[in-house]
Amino acid sequence: LDATADLYRESLGRVVRQRLGSIPLAALVRSDASWTFRARDFDGAFPGAAMVGTAGRQMAELGVPAIQQARITFDTEERPGKQPRAFCVPVRVPDEVYLVLRPRGGHADYRTFWHELGHALHFASIESTQPFAARWLGDNSVTEGFAMLWEHMTIDARWLRRYPELSRDDSARLVFELAAHELYGVRRYAAKLSYELLLHGNAAPAADEYADRLTRATLFRYTPDDYLADVDPWFYAARYLRAWQLEAALAAALTERFDDDWHRNPRTGAYVLELMSRGQAAAADRLAEEATGAPLSYAPLVTRLERLLG
């Protein structure tokens, strides 16, 4: 939080001026975040009807084998009460995986879908000979890391120019806003984890601490009302933070190994799918060591954010 405080304040200020006009940062409330990071003027570049086809095109370019793709069922049927947000359901790992979605369009929809596609590919790529524990249990930071690796492709300027076919100027503008949103998310989860550690370790009321920590981290004003509702079970916030570290480390290693366009390189696909095939037999820190030669660290993530927001 300390290392990114100035970078976050400056980048958020720029996005707020672009999206909300002259509203001062001190006046922002939690509900303003969704509108601030909405990127609504780019909706036309991300039509809902093209989402699954775009994903199929990219998987083909990455060389994802047909067997992995056949294991994933895309549930796009429109029906009453269907949840609008995409989600992944592994029923029999690796043979039966569902990706449920209700395509609406817009970058946020694509970003969520690519995140869940990362989960789906991970589950569909696990070797069937892996023990039950590696296929179903283990460190969920691993599957979240692969999901974030896929999600982060939609923040990459080269991906934005190749698939939605944004211009160089538009992709640069969108990347800045998306990177600011990512930094908002990282800081929010760091504050959530610090608060949840306090909540579960202290019998005293923590509502004011919740509001203070989340407000200071995000610069959007939180109220004490959600101090119990905005809590992830089993410290899942820590899984997300470890996943961010794993994703950034893997992305940096893939760039070094396969160049900047690794997201469409079939050699990348083979390499990443091999990592996925291990399931969650190894925790995120061990996988990072094996794949990159370095332990989990925020350094690759902070370096990337500084480059995108600098």
Contact partners, residue 183, CB within 8 Å, separation at least 6: 4, 7, 8, 11, 305, 309
Domains and CATH numbers, the chain: 5-309 (1.10.1370.30)
Question: Is the distance from CB of 176 to CB of 309 less than 8 angstroms?
Answer: yes
Locus of tokens 């006009």: 21
- Angle 150-45-115 (CA atoms, 0-180°, nearest 5)? 15
Locus of tokens 């524990």: 133
Collapsed DSSP state (helix, strand, coil) of residue 82: coil
Q: Alpha-carbon distance 215 to 238, whole Å?
A: 19
pLDDT per position in the chain (310 positions), as tens?
A: 999 999 999 999 999 999 999 999 999 999 999 999 999 999 999 999 999 999 999 999 999 987 788 999 999 888 999 988 899 999 999 999 999 999 899 999 999 999 999 999 999 999 999 999 999 999 999 999 999 999 999 999 999 999 999 999 999 999 999 999 999 999 999 999 999 999 999 878 799 999 999 999 999 999 999 999 999 999 999 999 999 999 999 999 999 999 999 999 999 999 999 999 999 999 999 999 999 999 999 999 999 999 999 9
Kind of pairing between the strands at 87-92 and 72-75: unpaired
User: Using CB atoms within 10 A of its CB, is residue 127 exposed (0-12), middle (13-18) or buried (19+)?
Assistant: middle
